[in-house]
Chains A and B, each alone.
Chain A
Amino acid sequence: MPEGKSPLSSRVLLALISIVFVATIPWFQINPYIIHIIILMGIYIIYSSSWNLLAFSGQASLGHSAFLGLGGYFSTLLVINFGINPWLGLVAGASFAAVMGTLIGLTCVRLREWFLAMVTFGFAIIAETIIAALDWITQGTTGYATPSLVSGRFQYYYVVMGLVIITILAVHFIIRSKVGLALSAIRENELEAESSGINAVKYRLLAFTLSAFIAGVAGVILAHYIGYISNEIFSFHHSFMPLIMSVTGGLNTVGGPIIGSIIILTIWEALKVINPIQRMIVIGLFLVLIVIFMPRGVISLIKRYFRFAW
């Protein structure tokens, strides 16, 4: 993140303008499909921000869909079977994801990059298998319809945008806090961080918990919004998307996942002319090109050419 000193820096102004812009979009008579895409972008911004927060501590997860899915399943099952308030379900689902994140984190925090990637990937597969095996409550692979959180598309729009703002602010303040400092120290050089008194294992675990909580929020919202949940939510595609979005936007920045989610979903929609298989290939090529030619993501371009915005 660039350094903004005064509270009314141009960055805050930019954020306010974007909020006002986003808030007024539904007032214009625009295609409901576009509103739908913007809601999806919002959910993905929350989801990839959670992935990015974990990556901020140097841990790249390949199984983030475990948290997305567990959050979604836990909250909707509570709502359906016990009739609890869906908003309470949101908190419960996210907390459940956070608990699972902590447990998974316990096995992961001591692992290096590749092993961590493999193990998190494995946990997503294990979660999927368990959910499918528990078919007497989860309906196995067929899934079930989920109740609605709010009444209509516009209501969802504002709920999601509100959650996006809360998430971005939360991630921003976590990264700026002492915790964030410790996490980036661990990411850059774990040995040095430990020798300056940072308990790396503890902070890595904390990153897992926080990240899983946010991913759980995204999962609950996604499950309610889409209207059904099946164990397809654990697919590797769902695990890789936040990674692709964060890398595209810019790793270790608050803005990266926002820009990345918008870019990737825009590409996805713009390529509707070709079939989904070809679109996947384009996304893969795009990721490879970004990593080779723009390892700091699109946000580095914006930072270079639009200095005035900061």
Chain B
Amino acid sequence: MIDTVTLALTLLWGIAIGCIYILMAAGLNLIFGVMKIVNFAHGQFLMLGAYMCYWAWFLLGINPYAAVLLSMAVVTVVGVAVERLCFSRILGTSKLNEIFISLGLIYIFDYSAVLFWTDKPKSIVTPFEYSVLSLGIVSISYDWLISIAVVSVILVGLFVLLEKTKIGRAMRATSQDRVAAMLMGINVDKVYVTSFGVGSALAAAAGSLFGIIFSLDPYMGSLPAVKAFAIIILGGLGSISGAIVGGLLYGLAENTATFFLGGIWRHAVAFALLIAVLVIRPTGLFGEGK
């Protein structure tokens, strides 16, 4: 027997978590589009962002939603450092090297987080923690609604950055044709750093919201990163709107499947979805949907 209230809540949860996936997917997509690399350690930026938000809230007493901005700033700096120190050095070598470097980064970030914050889950308490908006039979936590709003604002900002600014145009040009962009006088290195920084910032925002809605632990990043990966395959390369639709679909599908199968299947379901997507579109990002 299916409980309609629980199902409705499951769908709402799907949308809320889908929003977080959208931010991850948009960041990964941006980095992939421009640099043609996949940062498997993208989830670690999410984790770092969540802990930065936690610190800003816990140590400095900043409102968690304001702390999102602070966390984005810090993680951007980390992202730029990672790009300069690691990824820029292996651009153009074997693609496997990206995977290896990312793995090394995952170890470094995850276990450094364990050292700093221990592996006990932590949570961020917002002023709205216990207030809910009642809509007939279901009630939604304000935190989810605010998170959805924050994601919308960030995505609008991303659109403005990509469509209206000079560096955004340079990023789009580089993602279409790197050599032509270079010939047009675009500093491709600068574009790379910017994309990586923006991508990291998006992951940090995703992490902060994730920490606000759920809880934080050092290993929280890996699965959202994998899911974001599935979403960009689902949504198509370089398409932010594809990432939005894909993210929502993925959040809904995952939560509905978990609802029917039970919690221990959550991760397996996420990967089964990814594998299903890849079997249907084996070329993934390089498919016709460009």
A residues apposed to B, CB below 8 Å: 55, 60, 62, 107, 110-115, 117-119, 121-123, 125-126, 129-130, 132-133, 236, 240, 243-244, 247, 251, 277-278, 280-281, 283-288, 291-292, 295
In the bound complex, what is the Cα–Cα distance between A157 and B107 (angstroms)? 31
CB atoms of B99 and A129 under 8 A apart? no
CB atoms of A55 and B96 under 8 A apart? yes
Q: Which chain A positions have C-beta within 8 A of B111?
A: 277-278, 280-281, 284
Contact residues, B264-290 vs A (CB, 8 A): 264-265, 267-268, 270-272, 274-275, 278-279, 282-284, 286
In the bound complex, what is the Cα–Cα distance between A60 and B96 (angstroms)? 7
* Interface-lining segment among B86-94, B148-156, B181-189, B242-250: B86-94
CB atoms of A277 and B103 under 8 A apart? no
Secondary structure class of chain B's binding surface, majority of residues: helix
| Pairs A–B under 8 Å by Cβ, sample size 16 | A60-B100, A111-B284, A113-B96, A114-B38, A115-B278, A115-B282, A117-B99, A118-B229, A121-B271, A123-B271, A125-B268, A284-B111, A291-B97, A292-B86, A292-B101, A295-B94
Q: Is B114 engaged at the interface, CB distance under 8 Å to the other chain? A: yes
- A248 CB to closest chain B CB, in angstroms? 10
In the bound complex, what is the Cα–Cα distance between A285 and B104 (angstroms)? 6
- Closest A residue to B110 by beta carbon equals A280
CB atoms of B106 and A126 under 8 A apart? no
Q: Which chain B positions have C-beta within 8 A of A284?
A: 103-108, 111
Q: Which of A117, A121, A288, A295 interacts with B104 by CB under 8 Å?
A: A288
In the bound complex, what is the Cα–Cα distance between A288 and B101 (angstroms)? 5
Secondary structure class of chain A's binding surface, majority of residues: helix
- B244 CB to closest chain A CB, in angstroms? 21
Asked, given contacts A55-B96, A119-B274, whether A111 binds B103 with beta carbons under 8 Å apart, the answer is no
Asked, given contacts A240-B103, A285-B104, whether A112 binds B268 with beta carbons under 8 Å apart, the answer is no
CB atoms of A111 and B272 under 8 A apart? no
Asked, given contacts A115-B233, A280-B111, whether A122 binds B271 with beta carbons under 8 Å apart, the answer is yes
- Closest A residue to B283 by beta carbon equals A112
Q: Which chain A positions have C-beta within 8 A of B89?
A: 292
- The list of the 4 closest CB pairs from A to B, nearest first, reads A284-B107, A122-B271, A287-B104, A288-B104
Q: Is B190 engaged at the interface, CB distance under 8 Å to the other chain? A: no
CB atoms of B93 and A126 under 8 A apart? no
CB atoms of B96 and A129 under 8 A apart? no
CB atoms of B278 and A126 under 8 A apart? no
Q: Which chain B positions have C-beta within 8 A of A244?
A: 103
Q: Which chain A positions have C-beta within 8 A of B115?
A: 277-278, 281
Q: Which chain A positions have C-beta within 8 A of B97?
A: 291, 295
Q: Is B241 engaged at the interface, CB distance under 8 Å to the other chain? A: no
Q: Which chain A positions have C-beta within 8 A of B267?
A: 125, 129
- B101 CB to closest chain A CB, in angstroms? 5
